[in-house]
Structure 1
Amino acid sequence: MGKRVLLIEDEPNIIEAIRFILSRDGWTVETHSDGGTAVVAVESKRPDIIILDVMLPNKSGFDILRELRGMDAHKSRPILMLTARGQKKDRELAEASGVSVFMTKPFSNADMLEAVRTLAADTQAQAVESVEHGAIRHGDA
């Protein structure tokens, strides 16, 4: 797995904070700030991990999440959702829509870095498991 993150966020201070945190850890961070074209940005950039804000101009993060999860290419792509609204109903809606991690603002630098690293490690483990299972099936055939 590479180390490419697409941050879909419209608040400049949050963008710079996350870019700083992740860049220091070796991640390439690309940004996009319009909900209306976010899915197109994901399609063109094909990031390893998506960090998605809930409240975006032109389309909500929940709508974007549901749209991405409905596409074969993004069903299992790690998506960390950020929100200033941390109510239980928001968390439940995100989980029902297929979010990988739900995080409220404000967040600590350590929590953000740990969440992204965990998503990357989980994805890497799934890829290795798929290859190993494929090899077993191939050898049995």
Structure 2
Amino acid sequence: MAYQKGVLGISLITNWMIPSTSSKSNDDAAQRAIDFMFGWFWDPIALGDYPLSMRALVGERLPKFTKEQSIMLKGSYDFLGLNYYTTNYVHNAPSKSNIVSYKTDSQANQTAVKNGKLIGPQVKSIIIQPFHSSLL
């Protein structure tokens, strides 16, 4: 940080998401899951707006940035601290309900289990599944 003369940073947490099967719908769902977990906070300060998938799926419930706010936000950080602990399988899950919530907006279901097997070795935490190849 001293070398970069960074002053303002942000530390975000995210899971990595991989499609549960090789299909366009699951590829898209994995990207939406990343958008909703990481992009929700990162995209406004990096790009000046929420991810396109969030804007499309959340619609009017998602606050809109004015042009001035967008300009002010974009690039307003010196560095990013990223906390990453686990990876999830993701499959496409179009909402079948009129009930809207953060849990259903992304239209992506996440799980650490596929075909009865955990994505990574079991550790003492029930919510963390190490999957090191997603870091490569």
- Between Structure 1 and Structure 2, whose CA radius of gyration is higher? 2
Greater length-normalized contact order (CA 8 Å, ≥ 6 residues apart) = 2
Do both share a fold (TM > 0.5)?
no
Q: TM-score, normalised by structure 1?
A: 0.27
- Which structure has more strand as a fraction of its residues? 2
